[in-house]
Structure 1
Amino acid sequence: MSSLEERFLGLPTTGISDALQGYNHMNTAIKPLKETYKIAGRAFTVSIPAGDNTGILRGIRDAKPGDILVVDGKGYTERAVAGDFVISLAQNMGLQGIIIDGAIRDIQGIRDLDFPVFCRASTISASAKAAPGELQVPISCGGVSVSPGDIIVGDADGVIVVPAGKAEQILQTAIEKMKKDQQRQEKYSGSKEKALQYLHSILGDK
């Protein structure tokens, strides 16, 4: 993990969202299987036909350790494109996490692996294996454009995409916003009087 990715790992997705003016977050249905999961790294993109996981297997094989596999599964939730065995392969290959705009299965088995998985849904039915899919191409995942190498950050609140070319700028903006939020917290928290002071200031009360 590079120093840039490590610095993003230390920031909440909410702060990064503020720096991006509320854009570039994936659909709110895409959430981690455990709220404790936190990831930040480079996107290795995969596009698959709905319900087919051959492209995911290829992505797991070709991605570098530390990459985050980002899968455009077309939002299809009737067939799972990964279960505990497939997720274990990703873990063994050194990936940092997987984000799937689609469904998984074997939820308890995946949770037992303690490997970060973010997805839209779960189902029982297994995937098909008929088409190779596409790797390292621009995709749409959860309604957001993702290009290979973009910074992906995920936590309990969801997943956000930081375009690679703007990563340093967005990082600095997010850090500054977090500092201001901390200063506000210190200034106005701790008592009813301070809370009222803030409410009056923000609402323009006289």
Structure 2
Amino acid sequence: MKDLLPDICDYYAQDIRFLPLTLFDYGCHSPFWGQIVTLRCFEDNSLVRDILSTAGDGKVLFIDGHGSCRRALLGDQLALLAIKNNWQGVIVNGAIRDVATLAQLPLGIKALAACPIKTDKRQMGENNVVLNIADTLIYPNDYIYADLNGIILTNTALDLSVLKTES
């Protein structure tokens, strides 16, 4: 099912929060969903590596890079690490790089833009914090659902088997 979000929004209208942020799709895995792990960092992706080095167990990492597109918070090496550790996706309120390679990888990836410049490595940032992006609160351990239509958030996992199978 490629257009998952419209069906979720129709069936679970009272249970969802829409994230009104325009992000581009860079990975070849869409739709994707999972429990949210949050990270807030600014032009430093050292904690991204630390988190993606752990078992993802089908989760989605949401990185708030404060909307900065001057440094890439995710590239091909970190995406490969995410795949190896069973992450479903990475969403970046900021920039990514290695876009041609990312487009070939079985990982959901959304970001504001691409930038070829790597980040500084200062081990700075905060994980498992509530993020406020586009006036929408994103809580650790909530659930995120993403496809080409955008992103929605829920407090609990949704039963997707109740949705129609064709879109």
| TM-score normalised per structure 2 | 0.82
Farther-moved stretch of structure 1 (16-25 vs 35-44)? 16-25
For the aligned residue pairs, the C-alpha RMSD in angstroms reads 2.8
**In 2 relative to 1, CA 148–108 (structure 1 residues): closer, same or farther, beyond 3 Å?**
same
The separation in 2 between residues aligned to 1:14 and 1:40, in whole angstroms, is 14
Aligned counterpart for 1:113 among listed residues 83, 105, 114: 105
| Equivalent position SS for 2:43 | coil
Quote the offset at 1:61 in angstroms. Answer: 2.5
Farther-moved stretch of structure 1 (95-104 vs 137-146)? 137-146
**In 2 relative to 1, CA 23–29 (structure 1 residues): closer, same or farther, beyond 3 Å?**
same
- Asked if residue 42 in structure 1 is aligned to residue 68 in structure 2, the reply is no
Q: Which segments of 5 or more consecutive residues in structure 1 lack a partner in the other structure?
A: 1-8, 183-206
Residues 109-159 of structure 1: CA distance to partner in whole angstroms, max 9, x if unpaired?
A: 111223211111111211111133122221234542111111110011111
Aligned counterpart for 1:140 among listed residues 127, 132, 137: 132
User: Are the aligned partners of 1:31 and 1:157 in contact in 2 as well (CA < 8 Å)?
Assistant: no
Residues 27-74 of structure 1: CA distance to partner in whole angstroms, max 9, x if unpaired?
A: 3421322576111210111111x2111221122123532111111111
Q: Which residue of 1 aligns with 2:144?
A: 152
| TM-score normalised per structure 1 | 0.68
User: Are the aligned partners of 1:42 and 1:151 in contact in 2 as well (CA < 8 Å)?
Assistant: yes
Farther-moved stretch of structure 1 (58-67 vs 115-124)? 58-67
Number of residue pairs the alignment of both structures matches? 163
User: Are the aligned partners of 1:79 and 1:123 in contact in 2 as well (CA < 8 Å)?
Assistant: yes
The separation in 1 between residues aligned to 2:153 and 2:106, in whole angstroms, is 23
Residues 78-131 of structure 1: CA distance to partner in whole angstroms, max 9, x if unpaired?
A: 111111111111111111111111100110011122321111111121111113
More helix per residue: 1
Q: Which segments of 5 or more consecutive residues in structure 2 lack a partner in the other structure?
A: none
Aligned counterpart for 1:88 among listed residues 80, 91, 96: 80
**In 2 relative to 1, CA 52–142 (structure 1 residues): closer, same or farther, beyond 3 Å?**
farther
Percent identity, aligned pairs only?
25
Farther-moved stretch of structure 1 (59-68 vs 28-37)? 28-37
**In 2 relative to 1, CA 35–84 (structure 1 residues): closer, same or farther, beyond 3 Å?**
closer
User: Are the aligned partners of 1:40 and 1:151 in contact in 2 as well (CA < 8 Å)?
Assistant: yes
The separation in 2 between residues aligned to 1:143 and 1:52, in whole angstroms, is 24
Return the index of the structure with the highest Cα Rg: 1
User: Are the aligned partners of 1:63 and 1:69 in contact in 2 as well (CA < 8 Å)?
Assistant: no
Q: Which residue of 1 aligns with 2:51?
A: 59
| Equivalent position SS for 1:126 | coil
Higher RCO (C-alpha 8 Å, min separation 6): 2
The separation in 2 between residues aligned to 1:36 and 1:114, in whole angstroms, is 5
